[in-house]
Amino acid sequence: MRLESYRSPELSRRLAARIAVLAREAGREIAIMEVCGTHTMSIARCGLRSLLPANIRLLSGPGCPVCVTAQRDLDRAVAIATQHPVQVVTFGDLFRVPGTQGSLEQAKAAGARVITAYSPLAALEAARAEPATQTVFIGIGFETTAPAIAATLQRAHTEGLENLSVLSLCKLVPPALRAILTGGQARIDGFLLPGHVSVVLGTQPYAFVPAEFGVPCVITGFEPVDILQGLVMLLEQMHGRRAAVEIAYRRAVSPDGNPSARALLAEVFAPCDAEWRALGTIPASGLALTPAYTLFDAARRFPVDLPEPAPQKGCMCGEILTGRAAPADCPLFGKTCTPETPVGPCMVSSEGACAAHYLYGAR
Amino acid sequence: MCLAVPARVVELLPDRRARVDLDGVQLEIRTDLVPEVRTGQYVIVHAGFALTVMDEEEAEETLRLLEEAYAPGELPQP
């Protein structure tokens, strides 16, 4: 496959020229939100903003699972690690996010057993290796990651593994889009939809966005040509006064998504209300374990005392996640809050809007 | 978090596993989410699992259409 052609500078420049024409035609400011931390990083790393006309504004929405994890949920993860004799397995992204009483990293430094891993399978292996130790996987992620966690739990269930459990903090993207659109927080003219969430979902779960709100959507990949193509398709929808869910990432996303992954999700998880940082509680936006899998629920297996959440003074992650502010608007940005000494999750996560802005600038 | 990378399936292994080639590095992944996958196909790998089978024809077709519409020469007009 000629995948390297999706990074072609020449093709990128010509797509950018098309964007300039369409933006001039529009003659007004156009705000486009991406809802995927991988897009945030890709746009910043490739310097795509520098290719766009001044009236196209790219906003980073609530697309980074670490950034949208509520303080209370983070506190629960830290409390399970420190109040029970367990080993905790977590994605590296979550390891350093400060909770009310410190991060998982600090818990580890103080003696708790915390392992970082890139796959939930590491928790399965850790549980098999130490049958006498309880292993807890901190399950964060969107529809991309939740099927991997579901498949891991299905195996644990088949094997009758009794020392593995999951703290499910998984979240669903479409309900967050509705919350953003009904919250009146920022005017949004179009969404670049997350490519790898959509690999699983397909187009149908987003159909309400154009149908009810008249906002164009394009499912977009992660190379520079993919993202610029996504922007062209959004601007062309606006130009033609249309709103639909289109796919600019056809090599990976089919309109029906991945039904096998969704079947596995439905076996292990069912939607539940969930709290999002900055957005509050969103109905049916989280994933709880189904009755057949309740035994694997770490929140039930390991009750904890939780501290009163103390909001960070001055931190604007909430405004940034909802498109109401840019990283540079935050008084802490680059001063007390840096990737070395992060105050809020948007700076801790390698794909948070603040980390991207700090590393690559606003270009 | 949703970072996922293309890799080519080199060999299907027992118990819903596969060996893939990722930019010259071979590693083992699970295929629970893509029961239809065959040797030689490209998959997108995320967190140790193949998330989907890639459509090579669509990859080529998208590029062909883009390269045609945005060929050097005249700037496209709306």
The one-digit pLDDT tens for each residue of chain A (363 residues) are: 888 999 999 999 999 999 999 999 999 999 999 999 899 999 999 999 999 999 999 999 999 999 999 999 999 999 999 999 999 999 998 998 889 999 999 999 999 999 999 999 999 999 999 999 999 999 999 999 999 999 999 999 999 999 999 999 999 999 999 999 998 767 899 999 999 999 999 999 999 999 999 999 999 999 999 999 999 999 999 999 999 999 999 999 999 999 999 999 999 999 999 999 888 999 999 999 999 999 999 999 999 999 887 766 788 988 888 888 889 999 999 999 998 888 888 998 888 999 999 999 866
Nearest 5 degrees, angle CA A90-CA A258-CA B10? 75
CA distance A351 to A320: 13
**Token pair listed for A274:** 């969930």
Burial category of A53 from C-beta neighbours within 10 Å (exposed 0-12, middle 13-18, buried 19 and up): middle
Domain limits of chain A? 68-172+259-301
CA distance A232 to A254: 20
pLDDT score recorded for residue B36: 96
CATH number of A68-172+259-301: 3.40.50.11740
**Cβ contacts of B32 on chain A, cutoff 8 Å:** 151, 154, 260, 264
pLDDT score recorded for residue A345: 85
CA distance A227 to A218: 10
Closest CA to A234 of A62, A13, A10, A18: A18
ipTM: 0.92
CA distance A284 to A171: 9
**Cβ contacts of B4 on chain A, cutoff 8 Å:** 144, 196, 199
**Token pair listed for A279:** 């957005």
pLDDT score recorded for residue A133: 97
Closest CA to A25 of A312, A239, A319, A240: A239
Task: Collect all residues from B whose CB is shorter than 8 A from any CB in A.
Answer: 1-4, 6, 30, 32-36, 42, 44, 46-49, 51-52, 54-56, 58-63, 66-67, 70-72, 75-78
Q: Would the CB atoms of B33 and A93 count as touching at under 8 Å?
A: no
What domains, with CATH codes, occur in chain B? Answer: 5-69 (2.30.30.140)
pLDDT score recorded for residue A313: 77
Other CB atoms within 10 A of residue B76 CB: 15
pLDDT score recorded for residue B73: 64
Q: What's the start-to-end Cα distance of chain A, in Å?
A: 30
| Torsion A278-B47-A33-A95 (CA) sign | positive
pLDDT score recorded for residue A260: 97
In this prediction, residue B55 has a pLDDT band, given cuts at 50, 70 and 90, of: very high
pLDDT score recorded for residue A106: 96
Residue linked to tokens 């995927």:
A36
Give the helix/strand (H/E) hosting A337: none
pLDDT score recorded for residue A115: 96
pLDDT score recorded for residue A340: 86
In this prediction, residue B52 has a pLDDT band, given cuts at 50, 70 and 90, of: very high
CA distance B6 to B54: 8
CA distance A122 to A115: 9
Other CB atoms within 10 A of residue A117 CB: 17
β-partners of residue A275 are: A281
Mutate to test the interface with A, among B1, B8, B31, B43 (most CBs of A within 10 A): B1
Q: Would the CB atoms of A38 and B62 count as touching at under 8 Å?
A: no
pLDDT score recorded for residue A84: 98
Q: Would the CB atoms of A225 and B66 count as touching at under 8 Å?
A: yes
Chain B contact present for A338, CB below 8 A? no
For residue A171, the 8-state DSSP code is B
Q: Which residue of A has its CA nearest to B76?
A: A18
Q: What's the start-to-end Cα distance of chain B, in Å?
A: 36
Q: To the nearest whole angstrom, how far is the Cα of A84 from the nearest Cα of chain B?
A: 27
Other CB atoms within 10 A of residue A333 CB: 24
For residue B66, the 8-state DSSP code is H
Q: To the nearest whole angstrom, how far is the Cα of B13 from the nearest Cα of chain A?
A: 17
| Angular region, A184: left φ>0, alpha ψ -120 to 50, beta rest | left
Closest CA to A88 of A31, A164, A159, A161: A164
For residue A133, the 8-state DSSP code is S
The answer to whether A153 and A166 are in contact (CB under 8 A) is: yes
β-partners of residue B19 are: B11, B28
